[in-house]
Amino acid sequence: MGINVTLTEMMPQIVPRSLDPDIAKIIETYLEKEGINIALGHPITELKGENGKVTSAVFCDGTEVECDMVILATGVRAELGLAKSIGCECGRWAIRVNDRMATSVPDVFAVGDCVESYDAILRSPTISQLGTTAIRQAKTCAQTICGKRSRFNPVLNSMVSKVGNLEFGAVGLTTTFAQQNRIRTVTEKVEALTRARYYPNAKPMNVKVICDIDGTIIGCQIIAEERVAERIDTMTLAITEELTCFDLSNMEFAYAPPVSMVTDPLVIAVEEVSKKFN
C-alpha cells in the first residue's frame, strides 16, 4: 500500500504479557522484513499537530517522527466509580466477583473488563480482559440469574492473533512472568512443520513449552503461518487438567499428511523438554 509504518512499544519487546522475548523476536523480525519500523522501549510522550491534524510523534528520548496518522492501543483500565458508589468490594485491578459473577452487594452482578478473574496457575486474582472471557462470564451470569447452576472457571488467558501471514498464540504463563512469581521453570523451544515434511506447502512452526520444576505444563507459545489456534486450544486443555510434559508426550494425536506431521509439533516440544528431567 506504500504506507510507511512505525510500530512503537514502551516495553523492550512486543506482546510482553503473552510472549517471551525469544518468541516475540520472531514476530519482530518478520515485521521488519515486511518493511515495518519497530521502536522498542521508547514510549511516545507527546503528539504534535496543526489545524486539528497530527503531524508528528515525540518519543521519550526526544526523537520526533513525522506522521499523518497515530493509532493508540494503550490497554484497558476498569472504571470502578459506579461499583464503589454502591459498595461493591474491589480488588487491586477491578471489581471482585465470585465464580457466579456476583459482587459483594446482593443481587448485583458484574462481567467483562471491569472484573477480576482467578488465575488457574497462580491461584490468585488477575485480570483477563479478553472477548472470550467476557462472553463466558456473561453466560455464567445469565444462567445464574435464571436460577441455573453455572460456574466461571479460573482463567489461563489463552490468545491468538495474526499479523500479515503470521499467526501467533499463547496460553498460561510466560517464562518471565513465572520467574517473577518465584516459579522455577524448565523450557524448550522447537521448530517443526505444520504438515508432513514431504507434503507441499508445509510451513515452519515454532513451539515453546514451559513447565514447572515437576514437569507440569504451565505455558505454551506458538508461531506459524497456519494451524496455531487449535494447538493453543489443546494446550489450554492440557494446562487446565494439570498434565505434565510426560503425560502429553504419550497422548494420541490425529494425523494425515496434509494437516500434520506424524509426530505433532506439540509432542515434539514436550518430548524435548522431558529430556531435561531425570
What is the Cα gyration radius of the chain?
22
Domain that holds residue 58: 6-66
Domain boundary among 94, 112, 145: 145
Residue 1 lies in a domain: no
261 with 196: CB under 8 angstroms?
Answer: yes
102 pLDDT exceeds 90? yes
- CA pair distance 220, 236, nearest whole angstrom: 9
Q: Residue 248 maps to which CATH number? A: 3.50.50.60
The 10s digit of each residue's pLDDT in 202-257 is 999 999 999 999 999 999 999 999 999 999 999 999 999 999 999 999 999 999 99
Judge if 267 and 219 occupy the same domain. yes
82: helix, strand or coil: helix
Judge if 48 and 99 occupy the same domain. no
Judge if 178 and 251 occupy the same domain. yes
What total number of domains does the chain contain? 3
Domain boundary among 40, 66, 92: 66
82 pLDDT exceeds 80? yes
Residue 112 lies in a domain: yes
Residue 233 lies in a domain: yes
Q: Are strands 37-40 and 6-9 parallel, antiparallel or unpaired?
A: parallel
Residue 152 lies in a domain: no
Residue 154 lies in a domain: no
Judge if 141 and 166 occupy the same domain. no
Residue 75 lies in a domain: no
